[in-house]
Amino acid sequence: MDCQYLPLASTGQFSQLFLDYINKKDTVQPFYSRFPERSAFQEQIKDKVFDDAKRRVLVDALDRQYAQLANKPDFSILLQPNTFTVTTGHQLNIFSGPLYIIYKLITTINLARQLKEAYPDYNFVPVYWMATEDHDFAEINHFSFFGRQYAWTTEQRGAVGRMNPQELETLFNQIPEKLTLFEEAYLKHATLADAARYYVHELFGAEGLICLDADDAALKRVFAPVMRDELVYQRAGELVAEQTKLLEDLGYKTVITPRDINLFYLDEQLRERIEQTEDAVQGKTYRVLHTKLRFTEAELLTLLDEHPERFSPNVVLRPLYQETILPNLAYIGGPSEVPYWLQLKPVFDHFQTTFPILMPRNFAMYVPAVNAKRIRKLGLTPEELFKDTLLLKREYVENHARHTLKFDNENKVVNKALDNILHKAQMVDPTLERAVLAETKRFANAIARLEKKMRRAEEHNQEVGVRQLLTVKNELFPNGGLQERSENFLTFYLNDREFLTKMLSMFDPFDYRMQLCLE
């Protein structure tokens, strides 16, 4: 496979804050602890404090969650004090969702491998944090496959990880291809979390990747002190708001907006925000939005002690939850995730928790053999591929025309003559200036129309090349967006069972460029 690279800034697809982060711009450095480079991990290892009791809780939780799998991994390595994790996370998009989710997993696996080579005295376990508590079903209920979108409709509500995926049987009847792996996952498991764990383990378990479902009472109990602090003192929102203002004062657009209480109430078919209210008799009280649930502070804290699994951190506290229950060194995220983590560092400082190294995931565009052949024949560079379609077509036609399609030299001669005519007309009668200028404008418009006609004629002459150019552009940028943000890995995997292996071998987790992978 031929790999070509270009800076992410050249793609026009990424925010300025993300680009400034990967380019180590001075203005961004106060918002994180260590830049993601190999040498930074030595100090990160020293800083990460994770006791044996937490390791035992983690391993016991993983043992429970993997109990159904016939080839359950041995998690005992996580009990060793020299073992650390590197983590990525994402929602449980059906059929694995867009390609970039797979790329996140591969980046995480490869990071663990490279760290083991760099620091052989330590062990590094790649972790997929399954966003099982997320309740935004619209984000996960569809996927694109061979140019067609398939969607799951359901009456189920609440945390998606608890949903029954066997309803997806109707979707399999719509898909012409036989997808055995996902049939096994969705039709033979009781929850979406179990199904996702199954297929991710089948795809990447041999690479050492483990899946963690944090919707777990024992894990929540470890995090309970932070949740108690949030309910009583509500400091996280203030800290994030202050950090957000600093970023915005520098001209950056921020991603997340904190709440006063950054926790949800979680139960069957329910995940709703908790809000504090004031009662004339009872004083400080709490309510769960869109329900009749009401609590005094004492009642809510008692519930937290007895049932910590009823509380679910939102986007502000979920990262802290992750770093509290994992011996984690780095978080691998996308171009939206890395910027919102930059808003969170004061929360980590407040709770005296080591801020992880923020690693951008790998970015790639996979080009199958047919389109790779077209690109080589057309002589397109990676930079050209990312240009606007109309501009790309125009430049291609002009570069391949046998004659110039512009009248630049002729215009210079004519404009000089028109200037002379204008000068003579003004000498004869100054009122003729307006008439001469009008004729000059009409002439310029006529030249512009002629150039358009010539360009259209030349496009017709180059019809085959232009058609191939547009085909490549449309196939690599579905609906005008990046391939990795819409296409599913199955589009390529079903035609090439080595697709994932190739991506594993091609990606370097420390290379923050767009990678064009041509077969």
Percent of the chain beyond pLDDT 90?
82
| Nearest-angstrom CA–CA distance, 175 and 246 | 49
418 belongs to a structural domain: no
Is 44 among the domain residues?
Answer: yes
Range of the domain at 69: 2-17+36-219+326-336+354-359+499-518
Q: What is the H or E stretch that residue 296 is in?
A: strand 294-296
Arithmetic mean of pLDDT, 112-124: 98
Residue 95 predicted with pLDDT over 80 = yes
Distance of CA 151 to the CA centre of its chain: 20
Q: How far apart are CA 41 and CA 81, in angstroms?
A: 16
**At residue 200, what is the residue type?**
V
Q: What is the mean pLDDT of residues 210-233?
A: 98
- Indicate whether 447 pLDDT > 80: no
496 CB neighbour count, 10 Å cutoff: 14
Beta carbons within 8 Å of 129's beta carbon, 6+ residues apart: 87, 88, 89, 90, 212, 214, 322
- Residue 216 amino acid letter: D
Q: What band does 250 get if pLDDT is binned at 50, 70 and 90?
A: very high
* Mean pLDDT for all residues in the chain: 93
- State how far the Cα of 43 lies from the Cα of 37, in Å rounded to an integer: 11
Backbone torsions φ then ψ of 496, nearest 5 degrees? -150, 100
Residue 360: which of 342, 387, 347 has the closest Cα?
Answer: 342
Answer whether 344's CB lies under 8 Å from 323's CB.
Answer: no
Per-residue confidence band for 454, with pLDDT thresholds at 50, 70 and 90: low
Is residue 342 a contact partner of residue 476, using CB atoms and an 8 Å limit?
A: no
pLDDT exceeds 90 at position 414: no
In a domain, 231, yes or no: no
Mean of pLDDT values over 78-95: 98
Interhelix angle 235-249/217-232, nearest 10 degrees: 80
480: left (phi over 0), alpha (psi -120 to 50) or beta: left
For residue 491, give Cα distances in angstroms to 144, 203, 417, 470: 9, 15, 61, 20
In the prediction, which pLDDT does 408 show? 66
pLDDT attached to residue 419: 83
For tokens 């910027």, the residue is: 339
State yes or no: pLDDT of 320 exceeds 90. yes
The whole-number pLDDT of residue 194 equals 98
Look at residue 224 and give its three-state secondary structure.
helix
Q: Does residue 470 lie in a domain region? A: no
Q: How many domains does the chain have?
A: 1
pLDDT digits (tens, 9 = 90+) for 50-80: 999 999 999 999 999 999 998 899 999 999 9
Task: For residue 340, give the DSSP letter.
Answer: H
- Tell me which of 96-105, 288-297, 329-338, 442-451 is least confident: 442-451
pLDDT tens-digit profile of 265-296?
Answer: 999 999 999 999 987 777 789 999 999 999 99
**Confidence check: pLDDT of 436 > 90:** no
Distance CA 34, CA 106 (A): 22
Taking only the tens place, the pLDDT of each residue in 230-244 is: 999 999 999 999 999
Task: Look at 40 and 425; give whichever has higher pLDDT.
Answer: 40
Q: Which pTM value belongs to this model?
A: 0.90
Q: Is the pLDDT of residue 44 over 90?
A: yes
For residue 311, give every residue at least 6 positions away whose Cβ sits within 8 Å of its Cβ, in sequence order, or none.
220, 227, 263, 264, 265, 266, 274, 304
pLDDT reported for residue 424: 84
pLDDT digits (tens, 9 = 90+) for 459-517: 677 788 889 999 999 999 998 999 999 999 999 999 999 999 999 999 999 999 999 99
- Give domain status of residue 510, yes or no: yes
pLDDT at 218: 98
Q: 418 falls in which pLDDT band (50, 70, 90)?
A: confident
- Binned at pLDDT 50, 70 and 90, residue 430 comes out as confident
- Residue for token pair 């951190």: 313
Q: How far apart are CA 35 and CA 24, in angstroms?
A: 8
Q: Examine the pLDDT at 158 and tell me if it is beyond 80.
A: yes
- Distance CA(334)–CA(339), nearest Å, equals 9
Within a domain: 503:
yes
Q: Tell me the helices (H) and strands (E) count for the chain, helix number first.
A: 22, 15
Which are the contacts of 225, defined by CB distance < 8 A and separation ≥ 6?
none
- Cα–Cα distance measured from residue 344 to residue 339, given in angstroms and rounded to the nearest whole number: 9
pLDDT of residue 407: 64
> Would you state the structure tokens that stand for residue 482, as one six-digit string?
């990046």
Percent of the chain with pLDDT over 70: 97
pLDDT band at 406 (very low <50, low <70, confident <90, very high): low
Q: What does the pLDDT read at residue 232? A: 96
pLDDT band at residue 84 under the 50/70/90 scheme: very high
- State the pLDDT at residue 495: 92
How is residue 408 written in tokens? 């630049």
pLDDT value of position 442:
84
More confident residue, 463 or 229: 229
Residue 348 lies in a domain: no
Residue 290 belongs to a domain: no
Judged by average pLDDT, the poorest of 404-408, 416-420, 444-448, 456-460 is 404-408
For 355-367, how does the pLDDT look when each residue is reduced to its tens digit (9 = 90+)? Answer: 999 999 999 999 9
Task: Tally the residues of the chain.
Answer: 519
